[in-house]
Amino acid sequence: MRLASPDRRNQPPMLRRSYSYDENGDTGMIFSCFQRNIAHGFEAVQKRLAGEALANYTLTTGGGYFFVPPAGDAWLDALISA
């Protein structure tokens, strides 16, 4: 945790949550986070964690980035005019 967010007063700009699961012997963890800017949030944390000793014991089997639009149509107008 200290590597991911070294300054507790200025944390990465993302809301994150992990969920553990154990189904028929398949055990793991699902990580989910929401942020406005991937480079300032998730990618910045991953760069700080590069080379961390615990990474040798983890296996990432999938992932993806998904866009969740805000309420209303203002985002659509900004996207079309860009």
**pLDDT above 70 (res 7):** no
pLDDT for 23-69, tens place per residue?
Answer: 988 888 888 888 888 888 888 878 877 888 887 887 778 888 888 88
In a domain, 4, yes or no: no
In a domain, 71, yes or no: yes
Q: How confident is the model at residue 70 (pLDDT cuts 50, 70, 90)?
A: confident
The Cα–Cα gap between 79 and 14 comes to 22
Domain assignment of residue 23, given as a range: 14-81
**pLDDT above 70 (res 3):** no
Angle at the Cα of 61 from the Cα atoms of 56 and 24, rounded to 5 degrees: 100
Give the number of domains in the chain: 1
The Cα–Cα gap between 36 and 26 comes to 32
In a domain, 3, yes or no: no
Tell me, yes or no, if the pTM score tops 0.85: no
In a domain, 6, yes or no: no
In a domain, 73, yes or no: yes
**pLDDT above 90 (res 17):** no
